[in-house]
Amino acid sequence: MLRFVLCLAGLVAGSTAAPGALTWPTPNPAFQQGLPIETFVQPTVSGRTESGLFGCVRNGGARFHEGLDLLALEHDARGEATDAVYAILPGRVVHASSVAGHSSYGRYVVVVHEAEPAGFHSLYAHLASVHPGIRPGVRVEAGQALGVMGRSAAGYSIPKSRAHLHLEIGFRLTDAFQAWYDRQGFGSKNRHGVWNGINLVSVDPLDFYRRVRAGELGTLAEYLRRLPAAARIRVFSARIPDFMRNYPALATRPVDPARELVAWDIAFTEFGVPKEWTPRFADEALDGRPGDVRLLAYHRKLIEAQSCRRVVELRADGAAIGSGTLEILRKLFDFR
């Protein structure tokens, strides 16, 4: 099991990164030095530093931002960013998209950190270039350079002055994503397999880094356990979803082959990460049929505090599972 030790000594890169240590993904030492977010977060055109953070930070709180945007320190004579982008932990490259026009992420790299109990991934987007040796299957160390920070994107333009690294930390929902994608009739090719952004869910990178720096936790699995559950939902299904096969550390107990599996109780974070899974069995006498989905409980204050992407929708006549959460469940269980 990896134990995260955040390197705090200024620049952490290449051979200077301690093996297995959680590493800052850019050369900027501001976070490690405890400086304000203005010194390392890149805002949008609004100029509000908070707009570069994770969560409901855009369009007056109505639009969700999945990652953390980190600003550039170094530029060449043309004004283009030249900062290196580093792997935050040891892992295996699973996706490297070098064509800017193929995704709103622009050029991006995904690394899976298999040695960590939850086996999560990190994603590095808007790169100016991906290093030639960075390709699927290649193993990387913490602090190893993956590419160069930039402003690549499809469908919109990022000016030189706002070149940045978009960092995500999270999980893929299903390995059967292509079948789901084909059913949607998007009219465009999925060029990224299971690493398409709409198959990914994420946690707040900055909050995670802060808690590691404070010595509060050692793994992302611990971090998830400490996050409050915004809702608990029961899904009646006898299948074991890909998500559980890929992230068995998120199960509260094993699937007992001697008992008939009939349902899953799933706890969701406030922004839709299915963080905790409890298998339920026929001998527990649950009332439900295959395909039934039920809201068991929800955290009203947490839901009310959100301005976007609510896991549960609060209505005059009660609460209901949010449309975004239902879409996540469709991917997880291949519901039609």
Helical spans, DSSP H, in the chain: 177-184, 205-213, 220-226, 242-246, 300-304, 323-333
Instruction: Give the C-alpha separation, 129 to 232, whole Å.
Output: 42
Helical spans, DSSP H, in 67-216: 177-184, 205-213
- pLDDT at position 17 is 53
pLDDT digits (tens, 9 = 90+) for 236-251: 999 999 999 999 999 9
What DSSP letter does each residue of 183-222 carry, written as one string? HHT-SS---SGGGSGGGEEEE-HHHHHHHHHTTS-SSHHH
- pLDDT at position 208 is 97
pLDDT digits (tens, 9 = 90+) for 9-67: 333 433 355 556 899 999 999 999 999 999 999 999 999 999 999 999 999 999 999 99
**In the chain, which segments carry CATH 2.70.70.10?**
14-213
- pLDDT at position 317 is 86
Tokens in use for 169? Answer: 């930390």
Spans in the chain with pLDDT lower than 50: 1-15
Helix 177-184 to helix 323-333 angle (10° resolution) is 130
Instruction: Give the C-alpha separation, 75 to 89, whole Å.
Output: 26
- pLDDT at position 203 is 98
The dotted CATH code for 14-213 is 2.70.70.10
